[in-house]
Each structure stands twice: as structure tokens, then as C-alpha cells.
Amino acid sequence: MTMVRDVGERARRLAINRLGLWLFFLSESFLFSALLVTRFYLQGVSRPTELNQPLGFAISFVLILSSLTAYRAETAIAHGAETMFRRNILYTILLGILFLAGVGLEWSEGFRLFPPSHGFGTIFFTLTGFHAFHVFTGILALAVLLMPRQKGRFTPDNHWGVEAIVKYWHFVDVVWVFIFPALYLVS
Amino acid sequence: MKSRGFKRRLSVGFAVFGALIGIKVVEYFFGTRIHSGAWPYLVVLAFAGAWLILSYFMHIGQLGESGSKDHDNG
């Protein structure tokens, strides 16, 4: 009887945790929506011709690939495959770092071609800067999962910490799905 | 030994990844080859990509559940 109550309580707690996380995503999406609206309000659909579209496409590929590895990590821990879980978390971190390096390269070109003092530069650096900061915090959170003291902590029945961080990583990917065409492709 | 459910979920991940890359390639084609009037297509493609991630990677459908299915939602 007590065991049934415990299972029910855990399920209720998990549902509340998930709702809280999704409300956090909703609040974050307001922020990014406002920035995207600003892009079109200030600049219309125009963009500088010097914008490095192949680089934008390449870092999009890297971020989507990192979502796949994050998904594989969550799936692995949900089925008790800890080694696969840790390996995929590591891949996700490395891909996240590669994405940030790509953004850094784009910034170094951007400062020369459309500096932040220009209309498009303001929007470009604000949007990609906010997004890159989210990627950076996601990398930190993923790194916590790899710390030695976390080893063996997550089980197929109890891995909310992994689920929350992986979902956050996917959310960062969703945001980029809108940022990439809005900055690099619309014309 | 990996269970069938585990393998199925991994293959779903690959399928969604392939679809997302396909969407990005089409987006890139519209953005680089079509120089005006491409934005409605880009909007549709962006929402399609976001829907794939929200549905299959983020399991947004879990929100409608009580949590009793716990973590094994495919």
C-alpha cells in the first residue's frame, strides 16, 4: 500500500517538475520572440550580402547533431545503459563547444563587416549572443552530469535531472531553428 | 542485450535527425537561390522543424499525462 502511494507521489512530482520546466521554456520563448520581432521591425527582411551563409548552415548542422546525441543520452539512461549515456553526453558537450567556436568565427567576421553600431549588427549580435549564452549554460549543465560523483546516480526510474538538462538543450536547438532562417536566409 | 523498445527509440532519433537536416537543406536552398518571396516557405519550414524537436526529442505530449508513464515515453 505504501509502495503504491510512493509510486503515485513520484509520478505526481514528476508531472509538476515537467510543467515547471515547460513554463520556464515558455518564458524564455517570449524573450527570443521579442528579439526576433525586433529583427523584422528594425530591418524588415533585408540582410547584409556579406553574411556567411555556409558557416550558418554548418553550425546549424552541428547543433542538430548535438540534439541527436542528447536524445541518445536520455534514451540510454532511460534503459539503464550508463556507458552509452555518458559517451553521448560527452559528444553533446563537444558539439556544443564546436557550435560556440563557429559563432565566434562568425562574430570575428561580423565585427568587421556589420559592427554592432549598425542596425543589422545590433540585432545579429544580440540574438546570437543571447543564444550562445544559452548554449554555454547548457554545456555547463551537461558537464555536471559527467562529474564522477554523479556516476550511478541516475536510474531508468529516476533520471529527472538528465531529462531536464537534455530538454533544455533541445529547447536551445528549437530557438536556433528560428534564428538561423531569420538572420541568414530571409531576404 | 538491447531491448526492442530501446532500438526503436534510437531509430526514431535518427529518423528525426534526418528529417531536420532535410528541412535545413531545403531552407538553405530557398535562402540562397530564391532572392525574394521565400520567407513564407522559410516560416513553414522553421515551424515544421520546431514541431519535430518538440514532439519527438522533447516529448511535449508528456504534459498531457499524469506522469504515471514515468520516463519511458517514446
CA angle A158, A164, A167 (to 5 degrees): 130
| B7 assigned to some structural domain | no
pLDDT of residue B72: 46
Domain holding B49, by residue range, is 19-58
| B27 assigned to some structural domain | yes
* Backbone φ and ψ of B63, nearest 5°: -65, -30
| B10 assigned to some structural domain | no
pLDDT by residue, tens only, chain B of 74 residues: 568 889 999 999 999 999 999 999 999 999 888 877 888 899 999 999 999 999 999 999 988 776 555 454 43
Tell whether A108 is within 8 A of chain B (Cβ).
Answer: no
The amino acid at residue A42 is: L
Domain A2-185: what homologous superfamily? Cytochrome c oxidase, subunit III, four-helix bundle (1.20.120.80)
- Residue A10 confidence class, pLDDT cut points 50, 70, 90: confident
| B9 assigned to some structural domain | no
Query: HSE of A115 in the Cβ direction (CA atoms, 13 Å)?
Result: 2
What does the mean pLDDT of chain A come to? 93
Residues near B57 by beta carbon (within 8 Å), at least 6 away in sequence: A67, A70, A71, A170, A173, B13, B16
Report the complex ipTM.
Answer: 0.91
pLDDT of residue A8: 82
- Residue A61 confidence class, pLDDT cut points 50, 70, 90: very high
| B73 assigned to some structural domain | no
| B33 assigned to some structural domain | yes
Whether B39 sits inside 8 A of A45 (CB atoms) is yes
Residue A2 has pLDDT above 70, yes or no: no
The 10 Å Cβ neighbour count of residue A160 is 16
| B66 assigned to some structural domain | no
- Number of domains observed in the structure of chain B: 1
Residue A14 has pLDDT above 80, yes or no: yes
Whether A13 sits inside 8 A of B67 (CB atoms) is yes
Whether B53 sits inside 8 A of A67 (CB atoms) is yes
**What would the mean pLDDT of A21-38 be, rounded to a whole number?**
96
Of A14, A81, A187, the CB nearest to B67: A14
Whether B36 sits inside 8 A of A187 (CB atoms) is yes
pLDDT of residue B63: 85
- Residue A3 confidence class, pLDDT cut points 50, 70, 90: low
Residues of A in contact with B70 (CB under 8 A): 10-11, 14, 157
| B68 assigned to some structural domain | no
**What would the mean pLDDT of A114-129 be, rounded to a whole number?**
92
pLDDT of residue A172: 98
Whether B58 sits inside 8 A of A167 (CB atoms) is yes
